[in-house]
Structure 1
Amino acid sequence: MRLLKKSILYTVIIIVLGILITLGLEAFIKQDTSSRIYTEIRNVPNAKTAIVLGASVYSSGKLSPILKDRVDSTIDLFNNGKVDQILISGDHGSDDYNEVDAIANYLIDHGIPQTSLLLDHAGFNTYDSMYRASKVFQIEDAVVITQDFHLPRAMFIAKHLGLDYYGYQAKERAFRIETKIMKREKLANYKALFEVIFKTKPSLSRKKV
Structure 2
Amino acid sequence: MSILLYLFGISTTITLITGFLYVRQLKTELRTLKTGSRFILLLMMLVVTLNLLFMNLRWDTVLIIEAILGLILLLVGGIILFIFLIVESIKVWRLESHSLGNLLLPLSVIAYFVVGKLTDALVVLPEKYDWLKYISVFYGLFLPFIIWQFLVFLVSSLIYAKKATLKSKNKQYFVVLGAGLVNGDQVGKLLAARIEKAVKLAQAETIIIFSGGQGGDEKLSEASAMQAYAVSKLHFPKHRTLLEDKSRTTYENLVFSSALIQERPFSFFTSDYHVLRAAIFAKTLGLDAQGYGGKTALYYRIPAFIREFIAIINTKKKLYAILIFLMLILPMSLLLIMSKLIN
Would the alpha carbon gap of residues 163 and 71 (structure 1) be closer, same or farther in structure 2, given more than 3 Å must change?
Answer: same
Match of 1:2 among 100, 117, 130: 130
Is 1:14 the counterpart of 2:176? The answer is no
Match of 1:101 among 193, 202, 224: 224
Is 1:167 the counterpart of 2:291? The answer is yes
Would the alpha carbon gap of residues 125 and 36 (structure 1) be closer, same or farther in structure 2, given more than 3 Å must change?
Answer: farther
The structure richer in strand per residue is 1
> Who is 2:214 aligned against?
92
1:45-84 equivalence runs, <5 A: 45-59=169-183, 61-78=185-202, 81=203, 84=206
> Who is 2:165 aligned against?
38
1:148-187 equivalence runs, <5 A: 148-172=272-296, 175-178=297-300, 179-187=302-310
CA contact (8 A) 1:58 1:64 kept: yes
Query: Which amino acid letter does the alignment assign opposite residue 211 of structure 2?
Result: S
Alignment partner of 1:38: what SS? helix
> Who is 2:329 aligned against?
none
Would the alpha carbon gap of residues 97 and 191 (structure 1) be closer, same or farther in structure 2, given more than 3 Å must change?
Answer: farther
Counterpart CA distance in 1 for 2:185 and 2:230 is: 13
CA contact (8 A) 1:91 1:123 kept: yes
Is 1:128 the counterpart of 2:256? The answer is no
Query: Which amino acid letter does the alignment assign opposite residue 147 of structure 1?
Result: S
Long gaps (5+) in structure 1: 195-209
- Shift, 1:103, TM fit: 0.5
> Who is 1:111 aligned against?
235
Alpha-carbon displacement from aligned partner over 1:82-117 (angstroms, at most 9, x marks no partner)? 752111111313463531111011011021222211
CA contact (8 A) 1:46 1:83 kept: no
| Superposition CA RMSD, Å | 2.9
- Shift, 1:160, TM fit: 2.4
CA contact (8 A) 2:244 2:260 kept: no
CA contact (8 A) 1:153 1:192 kept: no
The alignment of Structure 1 onto Structure 2 pairs a total of residues equal to 186
CA contact (8 A) 2:171 2:266 kept: yes
Alignment partner of 1:37: what SS? helix
Alignment partner of 1:168: what SS? strand
Q: Give the TM-score normalised by the residue count of structure 1.
A: 0.74
Alignment partner of 1:10: what SS? helix
Would the alpha carbon gap of residues 74 and 177 (structure 1) be closer, same or farther in structure 2, given more than 3 Å must change?
Answer: farther
Is 1:190 the counterpart of 2:298? The answer is no
Q: Give the TM-score normalised by the residue count of structure 2.
A: 0.48
Counterpart CA distance in 1 for 2:259 and 2:189 is: 30
Would the alpha carbon gap of residues 185 and 119 (structure 1) be closer, same or farther in structure 2, given more than 3 Å must change?
Answer: same
Alignment partner of 2:183: what SS? coil
Counterpart CA distance in 2 for 1:60 and 1:25 is: 32
Q: Which has the higher contact order (CA 8 A, sep 6+)?
A: 1
CA contact (8 A) 2:161 2:272 kept: no
Long gaps (5+) in structure 2: 1-128, 318-343
Would the alpha carbon gap of residues 83 and 37 (structure 1) be closer, same or farther in structure 2, given more than 3 Å must change?
Answer: farther
Is 1:144 the counterpart of 2:265? The answer is no
Would the alpha carbon gap of residues 131 and 21 (structure 1) be closer, same or farther in structure 2, given more than 3 Å must change?
Answer: same
Report % sequence identity. Answer: 23
Query: Which amino acid letter does the alignment assign opposite residue 156 of structure 1?
Result: I
**The structure with more radius of gyration:** 2
- Shift, 1:27, TM fit: 4.9
Query: Which amino acid letter does the alignment assign opposite residue 223 of structure 2?
Result: V
Would the alpha carbon gap of residues 86 and 26 (structure 1) be closer, same or farther in structure 2, given more than 3 Å must change?
Answer: same
Would the alpha carbon gap of residues 92 and 149 (structure 1) be closer, same or farther in structure 2, given more than 3 Å must change?
Answer: same
Counterpart CA distance in 1 for 2:146 and 2:231 is: 46
Alignment partner of 1:107: what SS? helix
Counterpart CA distance in 2 for 1:114 and 1:86 is: 9
